[in-house]
């Protein structure tokens, strides 16, 4: 077996690795032989996970305590991605939601949500595709949400941040066309995690169990989608044709949005 450095899968950064989906990504990537760089704010949890993964899989496991709603912490991670040639994967997973109408959401919460879900994800994606294309290998995985497909009552800002992730990540795919670099957009539906508690969802009726996926099933399916070469992986969407139809309708609306002549319905009566 070739055990040279070039056959090593490299290091994977997982943001939001202290719980939920990110934690399970870190476990699976370590099991696949990646060294892992675990990013979140709760250091105790990250350290416990690092010890577990290093012990179980014999991989390097590093903790980078960061608040990715803060520009200085995002810049530090961008520098690391650019300067550390061992990094071959970034999972942009950290994110949060608030289940509230926009008028009842504090300004600070809105600003933090956009800073984390949008700004950090954008800057880290940029650093990753620049570094990966220059190194000739790498995979960027951005975690969007089914909530970004259409307006969903109660999560106006969150849904819009995930609609951003949908468009932004798909746009990036054209920037890595004809390179070995991979960009995958993952669209979970409803997944059991602490994210619901963070969002304030504990005050609501529990979701019917038949629509809620486990973090384990979600991450397994998402990594299978990556292995299959998918650009967009939506594990809960049973009918793949629905995804294709949504994409096709978006492309048609984009084309239809450009015309020098106002549509006939706007003619003066
Ligand atoms: N659960 C769902 O139903 C669902 C559905 C669709 C999409 N998603 C998306 O999946 C991703 C993971 O969510 P989850 O459900 O696994 O939620 P979760 O269990 O609450 O995990 C969120 C992770 O993000 C980290 N995080 C939060 N704020 C951060 C900050 N300012 N800086 C750095 N890290 C931060 C948290 O760690 P610390 O608190 O330690 O910082 C935690 O590790 C999110 O992007 C979410 O929008 C979730």
Which residues does ligand 1 sit against, CB inside 6 Å? 15-22, 40-42, 66-69, 93-97, 116, 143, 145, 188, 190-191, 193-195, 198
Residue pair 183/169 in contact by the 8 Å Cβ criterion: yes
Query: For position 6, what pLDDT does the model report?
Result: 54
- Best CA proximity match to 73, nearest among 117, 124, 107, 109: 124
Distance 190 CA to ligand 1 centre (A): 13
Q: Is the pLDDT of residue 233 over 50?
A: yes
pLDDT score recorded for residue 180: 97
Q: Which of 158, 68, 166, 172 is nearest to 115 (CA)?
A: 68
User: What's the 94 CA to ligand 1 centre distance in angstroms?
Assistant: 4
**166 alpha carbon to ligand 1 midpoint, in Å?**
17
For residue 207, report the phi and psi dihedrals to the nearest 5 degrees.
-70, 150
Q: Whose CA is nearest to atom 41 of ligand 1?
A: 41
pLDDT tens readout for residues 131-184? 999 999 999 999 999 999 999 989 999 999 999 999 999 999 999 999 999 999
Catalytic residue positions, numbered: 158
Percent of the chain with pLDDT over 70: 98
CA atoms of 228 and 210, how far apart (whole Å): 26
Cα 92 to Cα 171: distance, rounded to the nearest angstrom: 16
Give the pLDDT confidence of 57-92 residue by residue, as tens digits: 999 999 999 999 999 999 999 999 999 999 999 999
Domains delineated in the chain: 8-247 (3.40.50.720)
pLDDT of residue 215 exceeding 90: yes
Mutate which of 39, 40, 141 to test ligand 1's pocket (most atoms within 8 Å of Cβ)? Answer: 40
Pocket perturbation via mutation, ligand 1, pick of 21, 25, 207 by most ligand atoms within 8 A of CB: 21
**Confidence category of residue 3, pLDDT binned at 50, 70, 90:** very low
- Rg, Å, the chain Cα set: 19
Q: Atom 34 (ligand 1): residue with closest C-alpha? A: 40
| Distance (Å) from CA 113 to ligand 1 centroid | 11
């Amino acid at each position: 077996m070739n055990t040279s450095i070039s056959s090593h899968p490299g290091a994977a950064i997982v943001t939001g690795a202290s719980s939920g989906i990110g934690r399970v990504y870190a476990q699976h990537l370590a099991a696949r032989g990646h060294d892992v760089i675990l990013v979140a704010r709760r250091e105790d949890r990250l350290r416990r996970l690092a010890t577990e993964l290093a012990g179980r899989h014999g991989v390097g496991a590093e903790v980078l305590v960061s608040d990715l709603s803060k520009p200085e912490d995002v810049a530090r991670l961008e520098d690391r991605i650019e300067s550390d040639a061992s990094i071959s994967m970034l999972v942009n997973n950290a994110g949060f939601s608030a289940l509230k109408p926009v008028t009842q959401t504090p300004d600070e919460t809105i600003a933090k949500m956009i800073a984390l879900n949008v700004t950090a994800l954008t800057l880290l994606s940029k650093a990753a595709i620049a570094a990966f294309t220059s190194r000739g290998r790498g995979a960027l995985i951005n975690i969007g949400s089914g909530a970004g497909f259409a307006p969903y009552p109660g999560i106006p800002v969150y849904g819009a941040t995930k609609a951003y992730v949908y468009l932004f990540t798909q746009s990036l795919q054209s920037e890595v066309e004809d390179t070995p670099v991979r960009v995958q957009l993952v669209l979970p539906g409803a997944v059991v995690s602490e994210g619901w508690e963070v969002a304030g969802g504990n005050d609501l009726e529990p979701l019917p169990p038949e629509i809620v996926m486990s973090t384990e099933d979600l991450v397994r399916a998402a990594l299978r989608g990556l292995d299959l070469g998918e650009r967009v992986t939506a594990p809960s969407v049973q009918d793949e044709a629905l995804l294709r139809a949504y994409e096709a309708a978006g492309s048609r609306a984009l084309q239809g949005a450009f015309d020098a002549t106002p549509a006939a319905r706007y003619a003066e009566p």
